[in-house]
Structure 1
Amino acid sequence: MNKDVVIKVSGLQSSEGGEETVEVTTVGSYYYKNNKHYLMYEEVLDGTSAPVTNTLKIQPGQVDVIKNGSTHVHMSFRQDRRSTSFYCTPYGAIEVGLDTKDIQLQEMEEELHVRIRYGVEMSNEYVGDCSIRIDVTPAG
């Protein structure tokens, strides 16, 4: 796959209050090393002006999402496992629990597709069920 890629990240959160969707499409970088797919891209979060650098490490059964900038977090998704991380913002840190239910990885010569289903807790309180879809295609 090309080094320059288009990355589309779609998220869905379902809770008692309904469903909320988020979608980001951006250009980023891709490389493959030590049996892992690496994606890097920048985004500007609501209420901030400085970009956040996102690094995704993807391999079968495992996805790591690392954000650095105005917010810092390292979220680890492991097939059928629970993990805890701290989402650090300018306003303080929030404990986030992730209960990964399913990770699907489809690797193709010029594309990469990832699906993650998981439950979320914040400060030990259930927030809802979520899913992330990551689609990577060559840029240009």
Structure 2
Amino acid sequence: MKFMVVFSEGMDLSKEVLVTVKGTQTNEFGEKDTIELVTRGNYYYKNNSYYIVYNESRLSGLEGTTTSLKAEPDRVTLNRMGAAEMKQIFQEGVHNQGMYVTSCGSLEMRVLPRKVKVLLDHSGGSIDLGYDIEMGSKKLGYNELSITVKEL
């Protein structure tokens, strides 16, 4: 099964957690670049969706940006706000187009998710995304994003 969400029934949730984000970019030549960020963040459950919110760092190149992820039963929405702004929706097999806005300008960005795997419950869990990415009309490669949430 490529997409599975474990949603706990019951009360809303709000707590501080340890968030690990590992991103791997593979360009058209097969060259890989991986970064990993470990930071404190906030974890919420409300209206049948899980939310993960954390601040980016200099390591990710997005210092001054807050990232939030919303996991629903059939998709994951990534929002970045601050120094860089972007909204992308990851729903397996569905192209999503958005704008990537930075202080240097805006670029049209498009993703085609190949993998959307969500395993979250009230104690934490993971989100794993695999997707092709294009900017403008140029395919940049394949990205993998793995987000893990653990109680402190």
- TM-score, length-scaled by structure 2: 0.84
Alpha-carbon distance between aligned partners in 2 of 1:103 and 1:49, rounded to the nearest angstrom = 23
Q: Counterpart in 2 of 1:61?
A: 74
Q: 2:87 aligns with which of 50, 57, 74?
A: 74
Q: Do the aligned residues in 2 keep the contact of 1:65 with 1:74 (CA within 8 Å)?
A: yes
Q: Secondary structure at the match of 1:53?
A: strand
The structure where strand makes up a greater share of residues is 1
Map of 1:33-72 to 2, 5 A cutoff? 33-45=46-58, 51-72=64-85
Alpha-carbon distance between aligned partners in 1 of 2:26 and 2:82, rounded to the nearest angstrom = 27
Alpha-carbon distance between aligned partners in 2 of 1:90 and 1:110, rounded to the nearest angstrom = 37
Alpha-carbon distance between aligned partners in 2 of 1:65 and 1:30, rounded to the nearest angstrom = 14
Q: Do the aligned residues in 2 keep the contact of 1:120 with 1:130 (CA within 8 Å)?
A: yes
- Shift in Å at residue 41 of structure 1? 1.0
- Structure 1 residues 100-125: Cα deviation after superposition (integer angstroms, max 9, x where no partner): 11111112442221111100001110
Q: Counterpart in 1 of 2:130?
A: 117
Q: Is residue 27 from structure 1 mapped to residue 40 from structure 2 by the alignment?
A: yes
- TM-score, length-scaled by structure 1: 0.90
Pair 31,95 (structure 1): closer, same or farther in 2 beyond 3 Å: same
Alpha-carbon distance between aligned partners in 2 of 1:129 and 1:34, rounded to the nearest angstrom = 32
Pair 129,101 (structure 1): closer, same or farther in 2 beyond 3 Å: same
Alpha-carbon distance between aligned partners in 1 of 2:145 and 2:78, rounded to the nearest angstrom = 11
Pair 38,123 (structure 1): closer, same or farther in 2 beyond 3 Å: same
Q: Is residue 90 from structure 1 mapped to residue 91 from structure 2 by the alignment?
A: no
RMSD, matched Cα: 2.0
- Shift in Å at residue 14 of structure 1? 1.0
Alpha-carbon distance between aligned partners in 2 of 1:50 and 1:113, rounded to the nearest angstrom = 23
Matched positions, count: 139
Amino acid across the alignment from 2:35:
V
Percent identity of paired positions between Structure 1 and Structure 2: 26
- Shift in Å at residue 20 of structure 1? 0.7
Alpha-carbon distance between aligned partners in 2 of 1:138 and 1:62, rounded to the nearest angstrom = 23
